[in-house]
Structure 1
Amino acid sequence: MANPGNVARGLKGTLSNANNSEEAKERAAERLQQMEESGEIDSPEAHAGQVERGHKAAISNPKNSDEAKQHSKKVLEDM
């Protein structure tokens, strides 16, 4: 079975390709939405949550440099 991430990338490519028909773009958009809703791939909201958790972890990790911690703090403030 195909890797869901690869399928999603192909569907996104279909959406951005000016040479594809509107019908193909509609089908790709519908399939991409189905994959997000079913949990096969992460939705943009889920991705944002993962990014936030990663930056919070980076701030509390004693092995990270002060520069890296400051960067993570800035990203969190901007979110």
Structure 2
Amino acid sequence: MANPGNIAGGHKANINNPNTSEEAKDRSRQVLEEMEDSGEVGQGGKQDKNTGNVIGGHKANLKNPNTSKDAKEHSKQVLDEMDA
């Protein structure tokens, strides 16, 4: 059986993909909502992840020369919100 976390991750990536149609994004939002309602994945997904890995990933993102300015700003915001 497929891993619900991987399925949710794929739908989250689809929602954030600028090349995806709004119809496809709406379908991904619907699937994620159904998965959250059924308890297959946590709401927002962040509580299901290892906090240390999340912090480490965002810190690495800030130091990556290939990361966009917008992505670095997002990582800084997440780290600030996490007090990390």
Could you say which TM-score interval applies, normalised by the shorter chain? 0.5 to 0.7
1:45 CA drift (Å): 8.8
The share of aligned pairs that are identical, in percent, is 47
Whole-angstrom distance in 2 between the partners of 1:11 and 1:28: 5
Secondary structure of 2:23's aligned partner: helix
Partner of 2:34: 34
Whole-angstrom distance in 2 between the partners of 1:46 and 1:20: 23
Q: Give the CA RMSD over aligned residues.
A: 2.4
Runs of 4+ in 1 over 6 A off after TM superposition: none
Q: Given the superposition, is the C-alpha separation of residues 18 and 29 from structure 1 closer, same or farther in structure 2, using an over 3 Å criterion? A: same
Whole-angstrom distance in 2 between the partners of 1:25 and 1:11: 8
Whole-angstrom distance in 1 between the partners of 2:18 and 2:46: 29
**Aligned-partner residue type, residue 18 of structure 2:** A
TM-score by length of 1: 0.56
Partner of 1:57: none
Q: Given the superposition, is the C-alpha separation of residues 35 and 19 from structure 1 closer, same or farther in structure 2, using an over 3 Å criterion? A: same
TM-score by length of 2: 0.53
Whole-angstrom distance in 2 between the partners of 1:47 and 1:13: 18
Secondary structure of 1:42's aligned partner: coil
**Aligned-partner residue type, residue 40 of structure 2:** E
**Aligned-partner residue type, residue 23 of structure 1:** E
Structure (1 or 2) with the greater helix fraction: 1
Q: Given the superposition, is the C-alpha separation of residues 3 and 17 from structure 1 closer, same or farther in structure 2, using an over 3 Å criterion? A: same
Larger Rg: 1
